[in-house]
Amino acid sequence: MFKDEFKNLTIHQARELLDSKEISSKELTTVFLERIESVDQLTNSYISVTGEFALEQAGFADEKIKNGNQSFLTGIPMQLKDNMSTKGIKTTCASKMLENYIPSYNCTVAQRLFSEGAILLGKGNLDEFAMGSSTENSYFHSTANPWDLEKVPGGSSGGPAAAVSADECLFSLGSDTGGSIRQPASFCGVVGMKPTYGLVSRFGLIAFASSLDQIGPITKDVQDCAIVLESISGYDSKDSTSIKNTHQDYVANLKTDISGMKLGIPKEYFPEGMDESVKKLVYQAIEEFKKLGVEIQEVSLPHTDYALAVYYIIAPSEAAANLARYDGVKFGFSSKGNLEDIFDDIETTREGGFGQEVQRRIMMGTYALSAGYYDAYYLKAQKIRTIIRNEFNQVFKDVDALITPTAPTVAFNLGDVIDPLQMYLNDVFTQPANIAGLPSISIPCGISEGLPVGLQLMAAPLNDSNVLKLAYAYEQSTGWHDLKSPIAKGI
């Protein structure tokens, strides 16, 4: 195997080579650092690259392998979205507000990965504070889609999805508040999973909307996704929303025999006006599931129509509360106290430190929480959230999972979507899973106009294994995950 081919590996393939001593972690890490140096000028998927730290970690990983103490991810080079705290390494949230912020601690998922011996190559680009669907809202730079550099990679985890698609890391972790893992995974032709809310610790994830945020894997195939989820999931006392006794052997549960399982097709997720080629490819995927022995039935989730409105009341409201801490006094960007009144100083700091989309959402949330509007907007949205969650619970009494498109379109051109409402509609199929706390995955299901299309599978809370099992069986039956982006193929 030639050196350049190492970048094409999956985690499980790299594991075999590392364990057989055909390559060392230092050699593998060097391959990816050189890959980033040559390719990231095209994709801009990284905000920072931690080469020296990565090689130091790789040396420790090689010692673990030498002593037979390795686990799944020992010596595996990866990336973290840049809203996950890393000790001694900048964590910017792609915002001027945190441009020079260096945490004094690791987030729980980073600590778990480091304990296993995973190698941090750097921090991935995102929409500022994870607010966006195109990774064009980053303070530093936009990220390009490896399938077409004129297209967006999706967002907010566009940097992680592009990095995996372009072979700039073996896997990445993203955060998903309303589709921010799954939509970019769909646009970039990779696998992206939002686990059950509370399955993966959020400690050290810089908050956007605390009742919706969830960390999850972005990988090249479903087996890799199961490997990473197994490593990062589990109870954490530092996260008050963490669920106890949830750890499962996700890799061992992957099966190609899924006959007898039941898939529901929610009719509300195939509306008029969505891209016909996307709809066609998802229906072809449904036919493939039928061939695999899965029972298909149509179901209804009537309150799905309200999910977008509910999300854009709850998420901005929680964002307004979470981002109130950035006042230029304690940490982060400051206007340097040039004004006589401290309140004017705070206002100037927030105006200069936050980008337009973040400011928009803070204003929306502040309005929804204000006196006289709280009951009419926020409280009502929470009541409808409960109705949406109950509808899902009822449907999951009859089916094991739901199948839908991940996004209504393929990736669009950079700079094309300037209307905020039009941008928000990109997550119309993914937001309900966050509202209800469901496990949900996006996997490739075909190509339209030279760009990848993703299908989404959702299951009841804590049924993450069902989602992975169905995704794995489909993936192995079709091979769509084997398609490489032009950047990955060296074009």
476: Cα separation from own chain's centroid: 22
Q: Would the pLDDT of 166 be above 70?
A: yes
The whole-number average pLDDT for the span 340-367 is 88
- Rounded to whole angstroms, the Cα distance separating 208 from 357 reads 13
- State pLDDT tens for residues 49-84: 999 999 999 999 999 999 999 999 999 999 999 999
Cβ(93)–Cβ(130) below 8 Å: yes
Domains of the chain: total: 1
The boundaries of the domain holding residue 134 are 1-491
Catalytic residue positions, numbered: 81, 156, 180
Give the CB-side neighbour count of residue 156, counting CA atoms within 13 A: 30
pTM across the whole model = 0.96
Phi-psi region of 477 (alpha: psi -120 to 50; beta: other; left: phi over 0): alpha
Query: Is residue 272 very low, low, confident or very high in pLDDT (cuts 50, 70, 90)?
Result: confident
Q: Would the pLDDT of 322 be above 80?
A: yes
- Strand extents, DSSP E, 275-342: 295-299
Query: Is residue 339 very low, low, confident or very high in pLDDT (cuts 50, 70, 90)?
Result: low
- State pLDDT tens for residues 404-463: 999 999 999 999 988 888 898 899 999 999 999 999 999 999 999 999 999 999 999 999
- State pLDDT tens for residues 13-48: 999 999 999 999 999 999 999 999 999 999 999 999
CA distances from 46 to 141, 357, 419, 491 (A): 10, 21, 26, 20
Query: Is residue 348 very low, low, confident or very high in pLDDT (cuts 50, 70, 90)?
Result: confident
Q: Where residue 422 sits, what CATH number does that domain have?
A: 3.90.1300.10
Number of neighbours of residue 11 by Cβ within 10 angstroms:
24
Q: Would the pLDDT of 479 be above 70?
A: yes
What does the pLDDT read at residue 3? 66
What does the pLDDT read at residue 1? 40
What does the pLDDT read at residue 336? 72
The whole-number average pLDDT for the span 358-363 is 96
- Rounded to whole angstroms, the Cα distance separating 468 from 199 reads 15
Query: Is residue 2 very low, low, confident or very high in pLDDT (cuts 50, 70, 90)?
Result: very low
